[in-house]
Structure 1
Amino acid sequence: MALKRYSNKEPLVFIWVMIPYIIFLNLLVFGSCVYHSLKLVAQSFLYTGLFMFAIYFFFGIVATFIQRRFPSAGEMFKRIAAMLPVFYLLNCIAVSVLFYLYNWLQPLACNPRPGMLGWSILYACIMSTIITFINEGVANWEAWKASITETEQLKNVYQRSRVLGLKGQINPHFLFNCFNTLSGLIQEDTEKAEQFLDEMTKVHRYLLRSDEELLVSLEMEMKFAASYLYLAKERFGVAIQYSIDINKQSVHKKLPPLSMQVILENIIYTNALSKSDPLSITISADGGDSLAIVNSIHEKIVLQNYDIDDGLDNLINKYQMLNAGNVTIQEQDNKRILLLPLFDDKAVLL
């Protein structure tokens, strides 16, 4: 057995099982002779223990090799079926060598009983079977607990995401600014006011709809982003410039819902906006495995009184939980580049 091969508890299992294993093996090999004194008991336990510990190093090599061939939890019985015959052969060799060494070196006052070689080999094979099943059971138990923990963590991340999404839906500043802009457009240009109201409806409809979904298509997120940026541009005018360029091969790829809301809010509320130095936002996907969001950096001295980075941190944690690659953020030449991994259309996460 290789230490830490089966599970984190494998060394502990090895110690607790090997103590009675060695004691009873010595009894089979030497009979009651070895228990005539504490010195003989200690010496026989030490010698046999060191020998078996060294032998089980080779068991570990075999176990590691077979585990690599059949790594999944569902292949447990394949692993066991492949391991045990090799373990039985190793036990035959190991116990035979143990008898030979004791007879040759004679380190103890007791000699091995020749008639007990077969019984000792049988006992060693039985113990190998028991140890193998115990370690596999512990390993599968730990794997099950780990999967439960990951599932709970993923649920927590999504629950937090839903709460953050809900904050965006009912943010009084967001609603106030939209209605304030709409009020001004009604007085100035009723046609623009109707379009603004239409885009505002699309944004809020998407926020309400997508909050319950695990993944949405990039096409849907881009429609939301276009409407969201339209509202922002109507509010800030030429202080915001944006472009969206999505390759047709990318539109059906997936990403977590409301990702663009989190990213765009972070960009807009953490940068200073001015007509003389517009905030530039570029969203693009070239058919690869990521969505690129590039924005110019305009240092803002006074930020909002709430942590706008909380949503972005939550999005990064969500990707980590989904094992979907890392969200990467780079800053260079007064611009920030955010690369958001995209899921393949056929990807199954849970």
Structure 2
Amino acid sequence: MKRKYGIILLWTSLGTTLFFFLFFNDRKDLHTFMITLLLSTMYSFVLGFGNGFINEYLNKKFPWSEATRTRAVLSIISIVIGNFILVYFCNFMNYVVIQKTATIEDFFSSKYGLTNWFMINIALLITTFLHAKGFMEELRKTSKKEVVEQKLIAKSANAQFESLKNQLDPHFLFNSLNVLSSLIDENPQQAQKFTASMSKIYRYVLEQKDKELVTVEDEIEFAKIYCDLLKTRFEDSVDFAFEVEKENYRNYVVPLSLQLLLENCIKHNFATSSKPLMIRIFSDGDTLCIENNLQVREQIKESSGIGLSNIVQRYSLLTKRNVFIEKSENYFKVKLPMLSDKPNAINKEPEDEYKAYKKAQKRVKEIKGFYSNLISYCIIIPFLVFINLMTGTRNHWFWYPAIGWGIALAFRALRIFGLGDSWQDKKIREIMDQQKNRNNGNI
């Protein structure tokens, strides 16, 4: 227990001592004050530390954020059983041991039943406040933690994406300048033509570098210009074939993905007039494929690994669909997912998360309402009992609101923590899983 908690209980003991000594004691002497202080301290510390220990134990074993339903049920059970035992212990010490106003037989008879019941309700009020306070604090910490985590994830993903995109400019420029430098000596006219094509390509790079996705049509047009550039250098050593269906042109792919894959084809394979490198770009269902015949060249220096890994990482930040790589003795193929959604609607998770957030918000509101109602019950019912007993009437009418309100609270607790919408959701998920498994079995 924290030291602050003990100080609070000490001040509570002193406050209740002064209250009962000044307003409920006819004798105003030191002995009476010390007896009142002893009793107040005993009730405050036994009930306070007892309930505090239960609350801390449940916080460690069943945190609100991880097991809300289980924790709520255990809290209700522990509140009732724990306070029943603690109150009976304190009252026994008060009336039988300290003040000696009752025998053991009298204490466990109906004579003290109403007193014990009244004290249990007071203790329930204090304990319910502690558990509700713990729930609110845990909810606030969890909400703040989730907000911070989501911000860090968003910043990390954005930084990672920007880092991946920034790899493209120097990578493309370096390779293009290498090609241009070799052409200047071999064929100056081709070098001029290459420079013109390179300016068009680099303009596209600058236009698309800040976009997450581009249309397949734009990427194909860009790839054709880049293939012309490669054709300028390699002439008959490289052949290209574009076989992409027109209906796929409005889909989306990661920008510059074809250019990086075309570079990989040239870099990792040798190409000659007698053994030309055949590069085919085509659509296959909802994927855009680039395939080449395998003519592996010996690598003089280790590859930078920017090309394919860059594409895979950028796709992983945008969609759950994977980039597939196929390799055999005769060919190498890469399949890029073509996305039918626009860039700002690629990921449906935010929408699902928003719905889940609204549902969670509604549930938290219901739980808060339940605890507010429970606290009100623990305040008002003991007050009604006090008024009923102080008026001296033999008709114990306080039982009617106590039982009626208590039944309503019990049903509300069952609806929130046991048999409400959560049960329906669980049943719906169970039926959907069964249907999904049945469908998978028929495939």
TM band (smaller chain): 0.5 to 0.7
The residue correspondences of 1:299-338 to structure 2 (distance < 5 A) are 299-303=296-300, 305=301, 307-338=303-334
Amino acid at match of 2:82: L
Segment of structure 1 superposing worse, 164-173 or 49-58? 49-58
Contact 1:292 1:338 in 2 (8 A): yes
What SS class does the counterpart of residue 336 from structure 1 fall into?
strand
Match of 1:98 in 2: 82
Match of 2:142 in 1: 139
The Cα of 1:225 is off from its aligned counterpart by 1.0
What SS class does the counterpart of residue 58 from structure 2 fall into?
helix
The 1:95/1:252 distance shift into structure 2, 3 A limit, reads same
**Cα-to-partner distance string for 1:182-203 (whole Å, 9 max, x where unaligned):** 63459xxxxxx87x67644432
Contact 2:161 2:317 in 1 (8 A): no
Contact 2:281 2:288 in 1 (8 A): yes
The residue correspondences of 1:183-198 to structure 2 (distance < 5 A) are 183-185=188-190
Match of 2:103 in 1: none
Contact 1:95 1:117 in 2 (8 A): no
Q: Distance in 1 between matches of 2:59 and 2:313?
A: 44
The Cα of 1:124 is off from its aligned counterpart by 3.2
The 1:178/1:256 distance shift into structure 2, 3 A limit, reads farther
Contact 1:284 1:292 in 2 (8 A): yes
Q: Does 1:130 align with 2:133?
A: yes
Match of 2:234 in 1: 236
- Structure 2 unaligned runs (5+)? 17-38, 95-114, 348-443
Match of 1:73 in 2: none
Match of 1:276 in 2: 274
**Cα-to-partner distance string for 1:109-160 (whole Å, 9 max, x where unaligned):** 8589643322332333333333333233323333333333233333333433
The 1:103/1:265 distance shift into structure 2, 3 A limit, reads same
Match of 1:78 in 2: none
Q: Does 1:150 align with 2:153?
A: yes
- Structure 1 unaligned runs (5+)? 1-14, 66-85, 187-192
Contact 1:327 1:340 in 2 (8 A): yes
The 1:50/1:64 distance shift into structure 2, 3 A limit, reads closer
The 1:198/1:143 distance shift into structure 2, 3 A limit, reads same
Match of 1:164 in 2: 167
Q: Distance in 2 between matches of 1:228 and 1:116?
A: 85
The 1:239/1:228 distance shift into structure 2, 3 A limit, reads same
Instruction: Name the larger-Rg structure.
Output: 2
Q: Distance in 2 between matches of 1:294 and 1:198?
A: 27
Q: Distance in 2 between matches of 1:212 and 1:50?
A: 52
TM-score of the two chains, using structure 1 as the length reference: 0.66
The Cα of 1:339 is off from its aligned counterpart by 2.0
**Cα-to-partner distance string for 1:243-279 (whole Å, 9 max, x where unaligned):** 2222233211222221222221122112222333332
* Pick aligned residue for 1:253 from 251, 259, 262: 251
Contact 1:324 1:343 in 2 (8 A): no
* Pick aligned residue for 1:32 from 33, 41, 47: 41
Between Structure 1 and Structure 2, the one with more helix by share is 2
What SS class does the counterpart of residue 283 from structure 1 fall into?
strand
What SS class does the counterpart of residue 155 from structure 1 fall into?
helix
Q: Distance in 2 between matches of 1:181 and 1:147?
A: 55
Q: Does 1:176 align with 2:176?
A: no
Q: Which has the higher contact order (CA 8 A, sep 6+)?
A: 1
Match of 2:120 in 1: 117
Percent identity over the alignment? 20
Contact 1:292 1:339 in 2 (8 A): yes
* Pick aligned residue for 1:262 from 240, 260, 263: 260
The 1:225/1:182 distance shift into structure 2, 3 A limit, reads farther
The Cα of 1:57 is off from its aligned counterpart by 4.7
Question: Root-mean-square deviation (CA), in Å?
Answer: 4.5
Q: Distance in 2 between matches of 1:343 and 1:181?
A: 42
Match of 1:343 in 2: 339
What SS class does the counterpart of residue 333 from structure 1 fall into?
coil
Amino acid at match of 1:301: E
Q: Distance in 2 between matches of 1:180 and 1:120?
A: 94
The 1:342/1:90 distance shift into structure 2, 3 A limit, reads same
Q: Does 1:293 align with 2:296?
A: no
Contact 1:272 1:298 in 2 (8 A): yes
The 1:35/1:159 distance shift into structure 2, 3 A limit, reads closer
Contact 2:65 2:138 in 1 (8 A): no
Q: Distance in 1 between matches of 2:130 and 2:332?
A: 61
What SS class does the counterpart of residue 154 from structure 1 fall into?
helix
The Cα of 1:221 is off from its aligned counterpart by 0.7
Q: Distance in 1 between matches of 2:183 and 2:153?
A: 39
**Cα-to-partner distance string for 1:207-229 (whole Å, 9 max, x where unaligned):** 23212323211111111111112
**Cα-to-partner distance string for 1:270-290 (whole Å, 9 max, x where unaligned):** 2222333332222222452x3
